[in-house]
A and B are shown apart, each in its own frame.
Chain A
Amino acid sequence: MIFDVKDKVVLITGAASGIGAATARLAAERGARVIATDLDGEGIQGVAADCQCIGLRHDVTSADDWDNAITAAVHHHGRLDALVSNAGFVNYAPIIDLDLARFRKLNQVHVEGSFIGLQKAVAQMRAQAMGQPATGSIVLTASVMANCTAPAISAYAVAKAALANMARAVGVEVGRKGDMIRVNAVCPGPTRTPLLEGALPPGAMNDPAHWTDVPLGVPQEPEDIAESILFLISGESSFMTATQMVVDGGWSLT
């Protein structure tokens, strides 16, 4: 039942932990050629060692760092087949306490980071196409917070909504241009990551009483999101573009 990603050259940002690390591990296990990047230049080396892949320090708000990451993919593997723009962080603050600098930083990392990545990845996918329609798959990690919300999370909800519609807008644009480059967003619900662990009361992650709002009764594991991302990278989703794939155990249903 594996959806084939063998030999695909996949760049994954925010890959030192959480969903990004799980995606890198699963992709590597299934034979993809992974370039794993993260702002945490030390942490990414651990994942790279596990995956026997390239690990790079990468500030996604830096165009130079993006060039460096894509150059590494092309230098080592000859091309770029997929980008998983996953780097991000969360900020909890009621609106009246929300610091403008923090709001800007959050949008800079999520929205500007993915914007630069999309530009560079689409350019590379077109450049390597040798006159044929360009192919490739780009997945942006958004969130169910793109379409619903919770208290004290407005900055994150804004950034994730922007990402979801960025996937839609760019997906339509590159498709209509004649490329076979696909752009989709994955929208995870609450997932067992260091990001969420840090925000929950101690013990809540493993306490069923904390997850009664999730119809399936448990948080997502990072591997659950990784599976959806890999499906979106695989050729079996080649008619999917500009969509949002929700993986939330039914959390957003009610």
Chain B
Amino acid sequence: MTRTAIVTGATSGIGRATAVRLARAGFHIIATGRNPQRGAETVRQVEAAGGSAEFHSFDVTSESDWAAFADNVTARHASVDALINSAGSFFSKPLPDTTLDDFRELWTADVESVVLGTKYGFRMMRDTKSAGSIVNISSLAGLIGLDDCAAYCAAKAAVTHFSRVAALEGAQMNPRVRVNSLNPGVIYTEMITGAYGDNDAVKAFVMDGNALQRVGTAEDIASAATFLASPAARMITGTAMLVDGGRGAD
């Protein structure tokens, strides 16, 4: 039976790389995002890697969108084996300049999307009797501080701890569902270049913070997400898996 993986935020960065890596591991990919053109490019990349994919455009912060998506998926697929909640957003701003609207917008994009994703992930896995694995993309910033990123750090800390508690619920399901957060360090993706720029100075800043003297890539995170989704990690639940080049260790 074909295993199925849902990847949100699959139109760029970590989400897209994870879709491609999971496809190489044999999963049929259900990619989601807001931009159909970018979604089509993700499907093309999955197919180029020898996999199969479909793209669904919906808003991961809308509960009614999740409900409709879940009905669609469970009607057409026999199992939902993995869900990678990768969609998210980022901004950097000193706290005195951060408005409540800024904070709420980020909280909705980063936390509510994961809460809804995990809720409907549980439902889809329950309804298809799948011993699934849910991976919530958090951040090193959910474990330690990052200058001028109070809202983002708070949101990612929420994602990390929410995932731990969801793991306890998932463990009571039959079959059991695993939930982990995956906490990347600073990864050189559009999320970073969009906020700070795409140039050698930014790249050097990103690299210098790492103990390992290289830039972290979306593929690094895709590999870890694939590991957590795989049977190799069948006893791993409720953890925060750090993939940060040693950035947070000193």
Does A175 count as interface, using CB distance less than 8 angstroms? yes
Does B74 count as interface, using CB distance less than 8 angstroms? no
Of A182, A215, A227, A238, which contacts B168 at CB under 8 A? A215
Does B127 count as interface, using CB distance less than 8 angstroms? no
Complexed CA–CA distance, A180 and B212 (Å): 6
Q: A89-107 toward B: CB 8 Å interface, digit per residue (1/0)? A: 0000000000000000000
Q: Is the CB of A175 within 8 A of B210?
A: yes
Q: Given the interface contacts A172-B211, A247-B235, does A215 sit within 8 Å of B246 by beta carbon?
A: no
Category for how many chain A residues contact B: 35 or more
Residue of A nearest to B179 (CB): A250
Q: Is the CB of A238 within 8 A of B220?
A: yes
Query: Which residues of A sit under 8 angstroms from B239, Cβ to Cβ?
Result: 245-246, 248
Category for how many chain B residues contact A: 35 or more
Q: Given the interface contacts A1-B25, A3-B227, A241-B246, does A175 sit within 8 Å of B212 by beta carbon?
A: yes
Complexed CA–CA distance, A241 and B230 (Å): 21
Which B residues, 42 to 66, have Cβ-Cβ distances below 8 Å to chain A? none
Q: Is the CB of B245 within 8 A of A224?
A: no
Q: Given the interface contacts A227-B232, A254-B168, does A1 sit within 8 Å of B237 by beta carbon?
A: no
Does B126 count as interface, using CB distance less than 8 angstroms? no
Q: A175-B245, A216-B235 are in contact. List 19 more A-B contacts (CB 8 A).
A: A1-B25, A171-B246, A172-B211, A172-B246, A172-B250, A176-B211, A176-B213, A180-B212, A189-B235, A215-B171, A218-B235, A220-B235, A227-B232, A237-B227, A242-B249, A242-B250, A250-B167, A250-B168, A254-B168
Q: Which residues of A line the B interface, CB within 8 A?
A: 1, 3, 133, 168, 171-172, 175-176, 178, 180, 182, 189, 215-218, 220-221, 224, 227-228, 230-231, 236-243, 245-250, 252-254
Query: Which residues of B sit under 8 angstroms from A228, Cβ to Cβ?
Result: 232-233, 236
Does B98 count as interface, using CB distance less than 8 angstroms? no
Of A237, A242, A245, A254, which contacts B211 at CB under 8 A? A242
Q: How far is the CB of A57 from chain B (nearest CB, A)?
A: 31
Q: Is the CB of A239 within 8 A of B237?
A: no
Q: Is the CB of B227 within 8 A of A182?
A: no
Which applies to chain B's interface (DSSP): helix, strand, loop or mixed?
loop
Q: Is the CB of A239 within 8 A of B171?
A: no
Q: How far is the CB of A149 from chain B (nearest CB, A)?
A: 18
Q: Given the interface contacts A172-B249, A215-B167, A215-B238, does A239 sit within 8 Å of B232 by beta carbon?
A: no
Q: Given the interface contacts A215-B237, A228-B236, does A243 sit within 8 Å of B171 by beta carbon?
A: no
Complexed CA–CA distance, A3 and B213 (Å): 23
Q: Is the CB of B238 within 8 A of A224?
A: no
Of B171, B210, B227, B241, which contacts A216 at CB under 8 A? B171
Complexed CA–CA distance, A171 and B244 (Å): 12
Query: Which residues of A sit under 8 angstroms from B241, Cβ to Cβ?
Result: 243, 245
Q: How far is the CB of B153 from chain A (nearest CB, A)?
A: 19
Q: Is the CB of A250 within 8 A of B249?
A: no
Q: Is the CB of A216 within 8 A of B168?
A: no
Query: Which residues of A sit under 8 angstroms from B236, Cβ to Cβ?
Result: 228, 246-248
